[in-house]
Amino acid sequence: MLGMVVGSINCKYKCGAIVYNSDGRTTGYLSNDTYWRLKETSIINGEECYSVSKNRWVPKKYFIFKGGLINEESNRNV
């Protein structure tokens, strides 16, 4: 569990960041400059991915974080 982490999509492709399901199949794309609360991490298709909603995973490389990550337990930047 990541705690309270919000990331923004930053992808060089016009269609945005690829979204996988837990089986590694492409299920869609997330638009650039959108913000998502990240719930957990998993390795999908050999890439570290963040869960953005139920069975929707986005590779870590498409996210940027401003102000650092927040650890929910301590409420401090990590």
Q: What is the pLDDT of residue 22?
A: 95
* Cβ atoms < 10 Å from Cβ of 49: 25
As a whole number, mean pLDDT of residues 35-57 equals 94
- Going by C-alpha positions, the residue among 40, 34, 33, 77 that lies closest to residue 60 is 40
The pTM of the whole model exceeds 0.85: no
More confident residue, 5 or 46: 46
Q: What is the pLDDT of residue 64?
A: 86
